[in-house]
Chain A
Amino acid sequence: MVEDLLASSPGLLNFGIFFLLATVLLLVILGFVTYAILAERKVMGFMQLRQGPNQVGGRWGLLQTVADVLKLLIKEDTIPKAADKPLFILAPVIAFAPAFMVVAVIPFTDKLQFADIGVGLLYYIAISGLSTVGIVAGGWASNNKYALLGGMRAAAQMISYEIPLVMSVLGVILLAGSLNLNDIVDAQSNGWFILKQPIGFIIFLIASIAELNRTPFDLPEAESELVAGFHVEYSGFRWAFFMLSEYVYLFAMASLTTVLFLGGWGPLPFMDFIPGAVWFSLKFSLIVFLLIWVRVTLPRMRADQLMEFGWKVLLPVALANIFLTALLKELVDFM
């Protein structure tokens, strides 16, 4: 269905259909974010021998996040007097828009995808880099020392870890021979890339946690050092936008990991009677759980350790992985 739409001629009707589909996707993602936050708090609670939210909305706290969002919506919206007003307003928008834009290229099943771009993977990485600009701008516009420090850390961290992220994906690109995410999923029909690229997967996972600004790499918003990091001065709905972009990136990054390393919507052998969408959501949930697990169990790194780890460990290992992959690929082809 979507393929026909993508190939159809442009017109007002098609524009309307796309607009509607995008709105539906946005609502689905908002739903995901609502329950991802709840899941995170619940899992975190159980892992730390607590209950987690259990008051609002029954025993499982199912309406807790909804109540939180309502609270944020009716909260007073404060802008500090000394802040750089236009930039302060613009920054959450710059941070959020790319987060939603990257979701467009992710193939959820072989039929459900919003944009089939030849350079899909590159598009994802390029667009997600734009969020950093929003975060730094927000940190600067707040006119607050802690916010500025958080913004600076965010810039340093996200640029440093983007390089191992790209390098670890190069192994997958070498094996699949394409930057298109659909082709990458197709190339995994006889063996997921997590088996052929174990080193690449580990590097990708670490670098993606750093890109997502989650513990152990959550230095830009380290509560014990910077109060709240780049969004200290934000309140109400603007603050919600920063949080929203963070969780939408969680959604997008978990989907990307599924597509790149876990075979996307592809089933396990002999189990292809289960539809692709179910497979995708199972693998996706597994990755989200893994990310929450890492967040709960590991302490925060120090800023200099973070930089050293990125440049002196991850980058050389990623380069070695590319070299090894290319060598093995040539040898296998040769034999």
Chain B
Amino acid sequence: MSLSGEMIAFIMLSLVAIIGGILLINLTKVVHMVIALVFTFVSVAGLYVLLSAEFLAAVQILIYSGAITIIMLFGIMLTRHNDSNEKTAGLWRKLMLFAGIAGFGLAVYAGIYNLDIPVQETKLHEDNTRQIGMALYSDHIIPFELTSVLLLAALIGAIILAKKDDEEKEGEE
């Protein structure tokens, strides 16, 4: 394993992604957590770029940057600002947890160390936006349309829920 530029980029991006994830769990304020989440998502997009999936990377940022802002707004509006997490776990539970994590790590390491993934010649990285479009609109057209119907149903559901609230409020007044 040589230390090429790609390797360095991979190490940096994955470090940022992992640190962002850890901070997301450990920070106490909601808005700080959301900012940590931004770093995780952006570095995952960077990993997609390393895998030459540029379309996926752009879409990842496009969708999550909007979504994160919304999460942040909800975080600001729906939580108490001076609230901090209470420490609950005792020593015994922490030890059990550590043993579980270590066991999981060992199992994954053992499973992955000698895993032999055959390298295939693919053309997936060339012009992948076009390829994704072709696949979506030819082979996978029915699941794609079903997803859009599902999203539409969710949208209408959200509108109905929001509308109902308004009417009830007007009734109360």
A residues adjacent to B (C-beta < 8 A): 10, 84, 86-87, 90, 94, 117-119, 122-123, 125-127, 129-130, 132-133, 136-137, 140-141, 148, 152, 155, 158-159, 162, 179
Which B residues are CB-close (under 8 A) to A127? 61
With contacts A118-B54, A133-B68 known, what are 4 further pairs, Cβ within 8 A? A10-B5, A84-B31, A118-B127, A133-B72
What is the CA–CA distance of A316 and B50 in the complex, to the nearest angstrom? 37
Residues A148 and B76 in contact, CB atoms below 8 Å apart: yes
Which B residues are CB-close (under 8 A) to A158? 69
Residues B129 and A140 in contact, CB atoms below 8 Å apart: no
Residues A136 and B72 in contact, CB atoms below 8 Å apart: yes
Of the residues A117, A136, A137, contact of B54 by C-beta under 8 Å? A117
Residues A126 and B65 in contact, CB atoms below 8 Å apart: yes
Contact status of A122 and B69, CB under 8 A, knowing A84-B29, A127-B61, A133-B38:
no
Total A-B pairs, Cβ < 8 A: 75
Chain B 122-145 interface residues, beta-carbon cutoff 8 Å to A:
127-129
Residues A87 and B69 in contact, CB atoms below 8 Å apart: no
What is the CA–CA distance of A94 and B61 in the complex, to the nearest angstrom? 14
Candidate in B66, B73, B127 with the most chain A CB atoms within 10 angstroms: B66
> B154 at interface (Cβ–Cβ under 8 A)?
no
Contact status of A136 and B66, CB under 8 A, knowing A87-B31, A118-B54, A126-B58:
no
Residues A90 and B65 in contact, CB atoms below 8 Å apart: no
What is the CA–CA distance of A129 and B41 in the complex, to the nearest angstrom? 13
Candidate in B5, B29, B35 with the most chain A CB atoms within 10 angstroms: B35
Which A residues are CB-close (under 8 A) to B61? 126-127, 129-130
12 A-B pairs in the complex with CB atoms less than 8 angstroms apart = A117-B54, A122-B55, A130-B65, A133-B35, A133-B38, A133-B68, A136-B69, A140-B72, A148-B76, A152-B73, A159-B69, A159-B70
Residues B129 and A119 in contact, CB atoms below 8 Å apart: yes
| Closest-CB distance, B159 to chain A (whole angstroms) | 12
What is the CA–CA distance of A66 and B61 in the complex, to the nearest angstrom? 36
| Closest-CB distance, A146 to chain B (whole angstroms) | 15
Of the residues B54, B65, B76, contact of A133 by C-beta under 8 Å? B65
Residues B54 and A125 in contact, CB atoms below 8 Å apart: no
Say whether chain B's binding surface is mostly helix, strand, loop, or mixed. Answer: helix
Residues B59 and A122 in contact, CB atoms below 8 Å apart: yes
| Closest-CB distance, B4 to chain A (whole angstroms) | 8
Q: Which residue of A lies closest to B62 (CB)?
A: A126
Residues A159 and B66 in contact, CB atoms below 8 Å apart: yes
Residues B32 and A136 in contact, CB atoms below 8 Å apart: no
Which B residues are CB-close (under 8 A) to A122? 55, 58-59, 62
Which A residues are CB-close (under 8 A) to B55? 118-119, 122
Residues B129 and A179 in contact, CB atoms below 8 Å apart: yes
Which 9 pairs, one residue from A and one from B, show the smallest C-beta to C-beta distance? A126-B62, A129-B65, A126-B61, A122-B58, A10-B5, A126-B58, A155-B69, A119-B58, A130-B65
Residues A129 and B66 in contact, CB atoms below 8 Å apart: yes
| Closest-CB distance, B148 to chain A (whole angstroms) | 14
> B13 at interface (Cβ–Cβ under 8 A)?
no
What is the CA–CA distance of A10 and B3 in the complex, to the nearest angstrom? 12
| Closest-CB distance, B160 to chain A (whole angstroms) | 17
> B42 at interface (Cβ–Cβ under 8 A)?
yes
Which B residues are CB-close (under 8 A) to A84? 29, 31-32
Q: Which residue of B lies closest to A124 (CB)?
A: B58
Which A residues are CB-close (under 8 A) to B76? 140, 148, 152
| Closest-CB distance, B50 to chain A (whole angstroms) | 13
Candidate in B4, B55, B72 with the most chain A CB atoms within 10 angstroms: B72
Q: Which residue of B lies closest to A91 (CB)?
A: B35
| Closest-CB distance, B136 to chain A (whole angstroms) | 15
Which A residues are CB-close (under 8 A) to B129? 118-119, 179
| Closest-CB distance, A44 to chain B (whole angstroms) | 31
Of the residues B5, B58, B72, B128, contact of A123 by C-beta under 8 Å? B58
Candidate in B29, B58, B73, B76 with the most chain A CB atoms within 10 angstroms: B58
Q: Which residue of A lies closest to B61 (CB)?
A: A126
Q: Which residue of B lies closest to A11 (CB)?
A: B5
Which A residues are CB-close (under 8 A) to B59? 122, 126
What is the CA–CA distance of A326 and B5 in the complex, to the nearest angstrom? 43
What is the CA–CA distance of A152 and B74 in the complex, to the nearest angstrom? 10
| Closest-CB distance, B39 to chain A (whole angstroms) | 10
